[in-house]
Chains A and B, each alone.
Chain A
Amino acid sequence: MFTRSSALAVAIGLMAGSVSGAPQVQLDDPFSSGMWDYHQEALLGDPAKIQFDDRVRVIAPDTAEDAFNVPLLVDATALSDVEEIVISVDYGPIPKILSFFPGEAEPKLALRFKIDQATAIRASVRTRTDGWHVGGTLIDAAGGGCSAPAQAYASDDWEEKLGEMHGRLWSSSGRARVIVDHPMDTGLADGIPVFIIRDLTFSTDDGHEVARIALSEPVNEDPAFTLYFDPETMPSLLHVRGRDNNGNEIEGILTDEEVN
């Protein structure tokens, strides 16, 4: 672990000349990961007002059973006026997983991501008037003897299914769930360039945007998200639109229909 962590720290240090390693607000990291100061500057832009806050709930399994599909639930509904949630890992070749702009949705998101090693995982919540609030948890990237999952990585029909979308709304419980078929290649494997969905927006029939997700490389293959709404005010239909870094457009419609 030491070798790996310090290699990363060195690599990032070389990269990022602007990061001093001493943020203007020095926090006492509950996980003592040794990397938080750095991410506070590099990922969040060294905010002037920031705190660790247990009201930001980050829930994950203790160990990652499938390193390619680690489930995560981030819940900042105890905070008000949330504008953005940045989800990131402390240790990994690409720390940032995504930014969620909840808009008219609840500040709560279920997702899956790819993990590289045991790490702290953080949700940094930016509020309109009260700065940043950061919650987190630890995930051990251990599998199990009986556990190595079969990966359908080299499936040959991925091009046909690219952008295929599954999902629906549950207006009685205020949920919207969507799964988009996409390889989400990180660009870190030899000879395979970055190929990821950059953003997904959720909007009403008249084009009004209600929420947005900006994805980074560690989001899992075939990204899967649940967004949560107040059932009272939830739209009866959501358009999901997105674009990947190769310019492919993604588009679908979520409704309350069980089948379509």
Chain B
Amino acid sequence: MTTRRAALGLLAGGVAHVTQTSPLWAEARHSYDLRPVPILSGVWMIKGATEYFSRDNGGAIVNCAILQGKSGLILIDSGSSRRYGEALNLALRKLDLRGVSTVINTHHHPDHYFGNQVFADKPILALGGTIAAARTEGDGFSDNMYRLLGDWMRGTEPVPPSIEIGTGDIVVDGRRLAALPLGGHTASDLALIDAETGLLITGDLVFLDRAPTTPHADLARWQEALTTLAAVQAPAVLPGHGPLDRAGIAIRKTSAYLTWLNDRLVAAAGMGLDMIEIMETPLPDEFASMGAQPQEFHRSVSHLYPEIERMILPRAN
């Protein structure tokens, strides 16, 4: 009996984090091809694949912004792994020999901060809520990322941001920024406006040509944040995922998707559908063509439906 109990205890421990070591046959080459693209004066971006995490893309699915600071470069979001951070560090030294002076994380999702490890000796800034969430959820994310990305993750340890960023008009390494503390994609999402160029850096509050992700989403709050961002009327918007938007469409498109998502789930609850039945219904063309669909829609059903359904269904006792 004790044998069985002990064995079951071990198994039960796996409920939250089903871990699996990376296979020996993992990818032979793991090098990220990161190319900073100049987008405005003193501003570059690293463009992520508009896909889900995979062993083909190594998790390089996120956009990073790089701003020229006084003593080096300001890096906004640091990528998905230690190796990503190292590749970034090398690539950025070609822009400024002094390399990165400061890191800012827009929120606590792993594709936005798991490169921090490489810059651990520099100030790493984020909203207080992001720092706290990265501390509590980093290990869980790490388990998942090792499973999804295998050897790409070798040596990666989550390094949460260390310094709480000021909000409103701030100066970071000599560069004037407006820091907007928002939320909705997660409990704590930072958007930044670069005073010199007007560029709005949104983190994952905005997606373009790639389906928004919702594991920690509060849709109503997210819509409020998008209203705030639209009011900025920035000449260019850098979304967390997807191409630079100079046409002023990305905020509106993100909002349209979130509205549709909520409406679809509310309607499904009113018809008594369960999650599988919702997942099996096809997406409208304008949303089906987004990167990482229909996977993200399926994930969103899992994230959001149980709560929406409880609100819609009447009490039965």
Identify the A interface with B (CB < 8 A).
1, 4, 7-8, 10-12, 14-15, 59-61, 65-69, 71-73, 92-93, 110-112, 114, 116-118, 141-150, 163-168, 170, 173, 175-179, 186, 188-190, 222, 224, 226, 240, 250-254, 257-260
Give, as a whole number of angstroms, the nearest-CB distance from A135 to chain B. Answer: 14
* Beta-carbon contact of B272 and A145 below 8 Å: no
Once bound together, how far apart are the Cα atoms of A165 and B316, in whole Å?
A: 5
Once bound together, how far apart are the Cα atoms of A110 and B279, in whole Å?
A: 13
Q: Which residues from chain A contact B298 at a C-beta distance below 8 Å?
A: 61, 65
- For residue A175, which residue of chain B has the nearest CB? B272
* Beta-carbon contact of A226 and B274 below 8 Å: yes
Cβ of B309 under 8 Å from chain A: yes
Once bound together, how far apart are the Cα atoms of A109 and B279, in whole Å?
A: 16
Cβ of B24 under 8 Å from chain A: no
* Beta-carbon contact of A11 and B145 below 8 Å: no
* Beta-carbon contact of B148 and A164 below 8 Å: no
Once bound together, how far apart are the Cα atoms of A69 and B274, in whole Å?
A: 12
Chain A binder among B9-17, B92-100, B116-124, B176-184? B9-17
* Selected A-B contacts with CB under 8 Å, 11 pairs: A4-B11, A71-B275, A93-B11, A117-B14, A144-B52, A165-B315, A173-B271, A177-B272, A186-B12, A190-B9, A251-B317
* Beta-carbon contact of A145 and B313 below 8 Å: no
Cβ of B36 under 8 Å from chain A: no
Chain A binder among B136-144, B231-239, B246-254? B136-144
Once bound together, how far apart are the Cα atoms of A176 and B274, in whole Å?
A: 11
Cβ of B215 under 8 Å from chain A: yes
Once bound together, how far apart are the Cα atoms of A147 and B302, in whole Å?
A: 10
Partner of B272, one of A73, A143, A146, A173: A173
Once bound together, how far apart are the Cα atoms of A257 and B141, in whole Å?
A: 43
Partner of B53, one of A71, A145, A168: A145
| Interface core residue of B4, B110, B309 (most chain A CB under 10 Å) | B4
Once bound together, how far apart are the Cα atoms of A18 and B75, in whole Å?
A: 64
* Beta-carbon contact of B272 and A93 below 8 Å: no
Q: Which residues from chain A contact B52 at a C-beta distance below 8 Å?
A: 144
Q: Which residues from chain A contact B306 at a C-beta distance below 8 Å?
A: 69, 222, 224
* Beta-carbon contact of B11 and A149 below 8 Å: no
Give, as a whole number of angstroms, the nearest-CB distance from A85 to chain B. Answer: 16
Give, as a whole number of angstroms, the nearest-CB distance from B176 to chain A. Answer: 31
Give, as a whole number of angstroms, the nearest-CB distance from B298 to chain A. Answer: 6
Cβ of B105 under 8 Å from chain A: no
> How many A-B contacts at CB < 8 Å in the complex?
170
Cβ of B55 under 8 Å from chain A: no
- For residue A110, which residue of chain B has the nearest CB? B274
Partner of A11, one of B3, B80, B140: B3
* Beta-carbon contact of B4 and A73 below 8 Å: no
Once bound together, how far apart are the Cα atoms of A149 and B3, in whole Å?
A: 32
Q: Which residues from chain A contact B144 at a C-beta distance below 8 Å?
A: 142-145, 147-148
Cβ of B213 under 8 Å from chain A: yes
- B268-283 contact mask (Cβ, 8 Å, vs A): 1 or 0: 0011111111011000
* Beta-carbon contact of A73 and B274 below 8 Å: yes
Partner of A145, one of B4, B20, B148, B279: B148
| Interface core residue of B137, B215, B309 (most chain A CB under 10 Å) | B215
Give, as a whole number of angstroms, the nearest-CB distance from B240 to chain A. Answer: 10
Q: Which residues from chain B contact A118 at a C-beta distance below 8 Å?
A: 18
Once bound together, how far apart are the Cα atoms of A27 and B310, in whole Å?
A: 42
* Beta-carbon contact of B111 and A146 below 8 Å: yes
Once bound together, how far apart are the Cα atoms of A173 and B272, in whole Å?
A: 9
Once bound together, how far apart are the Cα atoms of A118 and B147, in whole Å?
A: 12
Cβ of B28 under 8 Å from chain A: no
- For residue B11, which residue of chain A has the nearest CB? A93
- For residue A111, which residue of chain B has the nearest CB? B274
Check A69/B302 contact, CB under 8 A, given A61-B279, A145-B110: yes
Check A167/B313 contact, CB under 8 A, given A10-B7, A186-B12, A226-B272: yes
Give, as a whole number of angstroms, the nearest-CB distance from A171 to chain B. Answer: 11
Give, as a whole number of angstroms, the nearest-CB distance from B208 to chain A. Answer: 17
* Beta-carbon contact of A116 and B315 below 8 Å: no
Give, as a whole number of angstroms, the nearest-CB distance from A237 to chain B. Answer: 11
Cβ of B216 under 8 Å from chain A: yes
Partner of B271, one of A8, A67, A149, A170: A170
Partner of B109, one of A141, A143, A145: A145
* Beta-carbon contact of A112 and B137 below 8 Å: no
Q: Which residues from chain A contact B317 at a C-beta distance below 8 Å?
A: 163-165, 250-253
Check A66/B80 contact, CB under 8 A, given A14-B3, A73-B274, A144-B53: no
* Beta-carbon contact of A8 and B7 below 8 Å: yes
* Beta-carbon contact of B20 and A166 below 8 Å: no
Once bound together, how far apart are the Cα atoms of A66 and B215, in whole Å?
A: 10
Give, as a whole number of angstroms, the nearest-CB distance from B308 to chain A. Answer: 12
* Beta-carbon contact of B276 and A72 below 8 Å: yes
* Beta-carbon contact of B277 and A110 below 8 Å: yes
- For residue A222, which residue of chain B has the nearest CB? B306
